[in-house]
Structure 1
Amino acid sequence: MDTSILCNLLGVPGKCQDREKVIGELKRKRENRECDLLLPVTAIIETGNHIAQLSDGRVRRTCAERLSGVLRTVVDGTAPWALNEVEWGAEHLRALISGGSTGSTLVEHACNQLGCGDLNILVERDRYLARTSGVAATVWTLDELLASYA
């Protein structure tokens, strides 16, 4: 799942216009047990940045507390998703620079307005697939450009 999904689930103002739809989709995914959900590190960081940029301090605090609560459930193993544990090293950066399995480099994606955060989510997915076997993985997103690679 990407930042657009996490922001909707947390109700981040200005980033949660599809909240009911996302909550409904999460319930459906959980009830049908159709997939395992992974929370990419990138989605956590980008969501935290969106929260930090909120102008209303009370709302910023409320959203930060929600994010902190969600992260606690991930650590405790009670969240409906798992953290996508990824090693941030030279191999990861090489994959990011080359664009992972997308067929385009980081530079080409930047020129086509796919940000480094979205590209990193794709690279995280690629690396997850490389260390697991017999699974398929897509990216749950509301972003049309990211979805085209998901």
Structure 2
Amino acid sequence: MHVSIIDTSILCNIINIPFRNQNYKVVIDELAALQKDKQHTLILPLATIIETGNHIAHIGDGNIRREKAQIMADLIKRTVNDTAPWTYYGKEFEREELLDISNSVVDHALREIGIGDLSIIQVFKKYKETVPAIGTIRIWSLDNHLKSYYEEMPTVKRRRDR
């Protein structure tokens, strides 16, 4: 199984949000390819939904804002009803995970990396630790600091019983 955790930069392109859609065609083409791959799982974290919703809320043109908000509302409904091309991953963080995030907030803020991105990184860590049989896992992002989150997971080979 291969896993891609969807970052806000990707979802903004999928929804085609003005000024946040510079890679629309590339993202849509990759999404189509990933959907065809039965060994690939797409994960949508809560932080990605919230951040994308905030970007939509700040669109200057009210007509476009309404159109993109409706697309977002439909996307959320499809996600909840398991008809979207991805699976929602909204596991709440345990206290220790929030402490892990808090310990790196200042350092990351100085590098212009916000809590939303730290939350997505935490989802990456938690998913790979709790879900068995992952071949590869990555944060699917256009942001360099998140693109670097890619790992090939060692697979355990079982001996055949004779």
Q: Same fold (TM over 0.5)?
A: yes
Counterpart among 96, 102, 106 of residue 101 in structure 2: 96
- Give the deviation of 1:114 after TM superposition: 1.7
Match of 1:129 in 2: 128
Select which of 72, 80, 98 maps to 2:77.
72
Q: Write the distance in 2 (CA, Å) between the matches of 1:18 and 1:34.
A: 25
- SS for the counterpart of 1:37 is strand
**Alignment equivalent of 1:25, drawn from 2, 8, 30:** 30
**Residue 132 of structure 1: CA displacement?**
1.2
Verify: 1:2 aligned to 2:7, yes or no.
yes
- The runs of at least 4 aligned residues of structure 1 exceeding 2 Å deviation read none
Structure with larger Rg:
2
More strand by share: 2
Give yes or no for contact 1:38–1:83 (8 Å, CA) kept in 2.
yes
Output the amino acid matched with 1:106: V
Distance across 2 between alignment mates of 1:148 and 1:13: 26
Contact 1:42 1:120 survives alignment (8 Å): yes
Contact 1:114/1:146 (CA < 8 Å) preserved in 2? Answer: no
Where in structure 1 are there 5+ consecutive unaligned residues? 99-104
Report the 3-state secondary structure (helix = DSSP H, G, I; strand = E; otherwise coil) of the residue aligned with 1:137.
strand
**Structure 2: distance between partners of 1:87 and 1:120:** 10
Tell me the alpha carbon deviations over residues 44-97 of structure 1, each in whole angstroms, 9 at most, x when there is no partner. 000000000011111100000000000111111111100012114423312312
Moved more, 118-127 or 85-94: 85-94
- Of stretches 77-86 and 112-121 in structure 1, the one that deviates more from structure 2 is 112-121
Identity %: 37
State the structure with bigger RCO (CA 8 A, min sep 6), 1 or 2: 2
Question: What is residue 110 of structure 2 aligned with on the other side?
Answer: 111
Note the residue ranges of structure 2 that are not aligned, 5 or more in a row. Answer: 1-5, 151-162
Which residue type is aligned with residue 110 of structure 1? A
Distance in 1 between the 2:17 and 2:96 partners? 33
Shift of 1:119: 1.4
1:10-32 superposed Cα distances (whole Å, 9 cap, x missing partner): 01111111111100000111112
How many residues matched?
A: 144
Alpha-carbon distance, 1:34 to partner: 4.0
Whole-angstrom distance in 2 between the partners of 1:95 and 1:37: 25
Bigger helix fraction: 1
CA RMSD of aligned residues (A): 1.4
